[in-house]
Amino acid sequence: MMDDHTDEQLDEWIREAAHSYHNPLPAPRNEMWHAIQAARRTPDVRPIRRPIRWLAWSVGVAAVLALGVSIGLIIASDRPVPVLVAAADNPSPTTPQRVSTALAVVTTEHLTQAETFLTLFRNAVRTGEVSSYAGGTARHLLATNRLITDSPASADPVLKELLQDLELVLAQIAQLSEDSWEGETDLITDGIEQRAVLTRLQTVVPAGTLRGALSL
């Protein structure tokens, strides 16, 4: 093991030698300036990352969901219905069994939206196209998630655990700022993977479930 003196010598050598790492050529100032000016004059072709389209409508859907949860909470106490998703061919054992149809639909819709959001978020991280709109969408979904967590829909311990994990992930995304994207987004997607949040969402809400539920 090297002592401190040797470490300092080596650090000094590393600092010096590292200057040859990716040693920059002179910046092509004028070429870049002309390209920047051209891009700014023609905004349609410049390589700006555009906000992801789904984020706009998901904000609206999240707001509607919040209203739906409130309605569901009112109905839930009167009409216990032993079905979360009537149209599911093979209802998951994780689905709560004693919530109203309205609350079940709202819960299912929320989980579907969350699954879509996280899938798109994960893809956006991979392609480097995460935008600040993601935080806004996460905040709306987070609000709905908390309402559902406090509702009879979370009586099922497995669903409750999923909602709690979902809350952690959504809270992390909601707190993202553009300056902290680097590193943070990877941590979030790692968390999604480690907690198998997407897999569990897909288990709870099988494909096509929502359409069937809404056709009741």
Out of 42, 77, 90, 177, point to the residue binding another protein (CB under 8 A): 177
Name the minimum Å distance from CB 187 to another protein.
Answer: 11
Q: How far is CA 5 from CA 9, 12, 14, 17, in A?
A: 6, 11, 14, 18
The two three-digit tokens of residue 163, written as one number: 């909602």
Q: Give residues 109-128 in contact with another protein (rule: CB under 8 A).
A: 125-128
- The first and second tokens of residue 157, run together, are 């311990």
Binding mask 23-52 for another protein (x = CB under 8 A): -xx-xxx-xxx-xx--xx-----xxxx---
Answer yes or no whether residue 132 interacts with another protein by CB under 8 A.
Answer: no
Among 4, 21, 77, 215, binds another protein (CB under 8 A): 21
CB of 5 to another protein, least distance (A): 9
DSSP string, 69-106: HHHHHHHHTT--BB-S-TT-SS--TTS-SSB-HHHHHH
182 binds another protein (CB under 8 A): yes
> Among 109, 113, 114, which Cα is nearest to 210's?
109
Considering only residues 48 to 107 of the shown chain, the ones binding another protein according to CB under 8 A are 48-49
13 interacts with another protein by CB under 8 A:
yes
Tell me which of 83, 103, 114, 130 binds another protein, using CB under 8 A.
130
Q: Which of 32/63 has CB closer to another protein? A: 32
Which residue's CB is nearer to another protein, number 78 or number 179?
179
User: Minimum distance between the CB of residue 192 and another protein, rounded to whole angstroms?
Assistant: 17
Could you identify the residue written with the tokens 């300092």? Answer: 8
Single-letter amino acid code for the residue at 98:
R
Please give the span between the terminal C-alpha atoms of the chain, in angstroms, as a whole number: 71
- The residue among 11 and 150 lying less far from another protein, judged by its C-beta, is 11
Token output for 173: 């995304």
* Contacts (Cβ under 8 Å, ≥6 apart) of 176: 130, 132, 134, 135, 138, 184, 185, 188
Residue 169 makes CB contacts below 8 A (sequence gap 6+) with 118, 188, 191, 192, 195, 197
Binding site for another protein (CB under 8 A): 2, 6-7, 9-11, 13-15, 17-22, 24-25, 27-29, 31-33, 35-36, 39-40, 46-49, 125-130, 177-184
